[in-house]
Structures are given as structure tokens and as C-alpha cells.
């Protein structure tokens, strides 16, 4: 079986790693360069860096910071934030990113997914989807969760796959930062609809949330921030626990 991936996420605002609850009330967690190095050493399978200030403030991702983070890593590194064109993606890949994450720009212009995928390959393209449940459906949100994209979640995920996305990163805004567990049922439905890997994000609070996710949803990876940043669930401890649950993971000697 393919090993399940554990992915720490660095949400970066103005050069510092931050974390909030339901995308609000951000607090500083640390330096993204040092934290990236630490997670790589601890045995993280990948790292995601999202410049959450880029879209709202109309700026590109800080390439110098990407270079500094990438220079400390020996694991795949995904970068998102402020990517509006294929040339933006090229600059990030040239700066050390292994994959790029598209979100708001892809919602504004879905053909961007195709352009980047055709230019570099689907394996380089992660489409990140932030969504919240409203009435009877999951609504896709853009601009850091501040604006409704007027798109239904499952429909948009399927379109992203059809346009060349290599992976889908789904963050449940209702679960984000709550530490009450992942949106397992929604993720299980998403995995049943897609033929590409799914990364789950939003809600991790303890090791059992990860085992519940992997045993009941079909996702390929779990992304989290608070539990790793705060040391609540150290990555080596988490992986040993998951292995004891019969979940295949890559164990790194630290």
C-alpha cells in the first residue's frame, strides 16, 4: 500500500507563520524558515507554504522567502499564494518549490489550471479549495475565505481535476483550527468522486483524528498546522501511532 502522507502547513502572513480559527484571529507561531527545517528533520513527508496575505493584498508570493525555506528541506515543498499566471508558477518552481497551489486565481480563471498543467505537468499542480457548509451544500470561498466564489464544492473539485489538477487540497473552513476532527464524511465523498490524490485539511486536534481520517475517508494525505506548531502531536509520535493502527506511513529515524 502507498504510505499516507503527513504534511505540516505554514500559513505565512508578512513573513511570519500564523494560525487562526475558522480563518480568523491570526496569531504568530514562528519563523517559517526554521519551522520548515524542523519539520523536515522530524520526518514530515511534505511541506506546504501558503502566503495568506498575497491574494488579499494583491502581491506575489515572496520569492526570497521561498528560496530560504526550500534551501533547508529534503522533502517536497508546495507553495501557494498570489499565483495568477503560468509565469508566476514558473518563478516559484525556479525558486525551489516542487509543486504550486492554485486557489483564488483558478476560481477567477479556471483555464489557469490547464495552462500550468500543460506547461509543467499535472504533478506540479495542487488545487486548494476552501469551503464552508451552508444550508444544504458546501460553498467554495475565495480570497482567504472572505468571499463566496459562487461555486459548489464537489462540482468545482471535479472541474479542477478535469482541467489538469494533480491533487486537491480541501480545507473545511468549519473545522479549521477547531481541533475537533476532520470533515471525514465530506472527504470520503470527495475521494469517491475523484481519481487524483486528496489532501485533507482543517480540524486536527489529536492523533486519533488522523487515524479516523485515514481509516474512513480514502484520503492520501493529512495536512495540519496547530497540532504541529504547538507540539500537541509531534510528527514522530503521530507516525508511530498510525503505524500501530495498521495505517502505512513512512517512518524516519530522527
pLDDT digits (tens, 9 = 90+) for 113-155: 999 999 999 999 999 999 999 888 999 999 877 888 999 999 9
Residues 224, 231, 211, 24: is their CA dihedral positive or negative? negative
Query: Which cell goes with 149?
Result: 466564489
**CA proximity to 129, closest of 189, 51, 199:** 199
Residues 7, 9, 15, 18: is their CA dihedral positive or negative? negative
Q: Tell me the CATH number of domain 5-244, given options 3.40.630.30, 1.10.10.10, 3.20.20.70, 3.40.50.620.
A: 3.20.20.70
Predicted structure pTM score: 0.91
Instruction: Specify the pLDDT at position 138.
Output: 95
**Which residues are designated catalytic?**
11, 130
pLDDT under 50: residue ranges of the chain? 22-23, 55-61
117 Cβ neighbours under 8 A, 6+ residues apart: 124, 125, 163, 164, 165, 166
Instruction: Specify the pLDDT at position 127.
Output: 98
Query: Which cell goes with 226?
Result: 496547530
Euclidean distance between CA atoms 26 and 139, whole angstroms:
23
Amino acid at each position: 500500500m502507498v504510505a499516507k502522507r503527513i504534511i505540516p502547513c505554514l500559513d505565512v502572513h508578512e513573513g511570519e507563520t500564523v494560525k487562526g480559527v475558522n480563518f480568523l484571529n491570526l496569531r504568530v507561531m514562528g519563523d517559517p524558515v526554521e519551522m520548515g527545517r524542523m519539520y523536515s528533520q522530524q520526518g514530515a513527508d511534505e511541506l506546504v507554504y501558503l502566503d495568506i496575505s498575497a491574494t488579499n493584498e494583491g502581491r506575489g508570493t515572496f520569492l526570497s522567502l521561498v528560496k530560504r525555506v526550500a534551501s533547508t528541506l529534503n522533502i517536497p515543498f508546495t507553495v501557494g499564494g498570489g499565483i495568477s499566471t503560468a509565469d508566476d508558477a514558473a518563478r516559484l518552481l525556479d525558486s525551489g518549490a516542487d509543486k504550486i497551489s492554485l486557489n483564488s486565481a483558478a476560481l477567477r480563471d479556471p483555464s489557469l489550471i490547464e495552462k500550468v498543467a500543460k506547461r509543467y505537468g499535472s504533478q506540479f499542480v495542487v488545487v486548494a479549495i476552501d469551503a464552508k457548509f451552508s444550508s444544504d451544500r458546501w460553498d467554495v470561498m475565495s480570497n482567504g475565505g472572505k468571499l463566496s466564489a459562487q461555486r459548489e464544492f464537489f462540482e468545482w473539485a471535479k472541474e479542477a481535476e478535469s482541467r489538469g489538477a494533480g491533487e486537491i487540497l480541501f480545507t473545511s473552513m468549519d473545522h479549521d483550527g477547531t481541533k475537533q476532527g476532520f470533515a471525514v464524511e465530506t472527504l470520503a465523498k470527495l475521494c469517491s468522486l475523484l481519481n487524483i490524490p486528496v489532501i485533507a485539511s482543517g480540524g486536527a486536534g489529536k492523533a486519533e483524528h488522523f487515524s479516523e481520517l485515514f481509516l474512513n475517508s480514502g484520503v492520501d494525505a493529512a495536512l495540519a498546522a496547530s497540532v504541529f506548531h504547538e507540539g500537541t502531536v509531534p510528527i514522530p509520535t503521530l507516525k508511530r501511532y498510525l503505524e500501530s493502527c495498521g495505517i502505512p506511513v513512512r517512518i524516519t529515524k530522527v
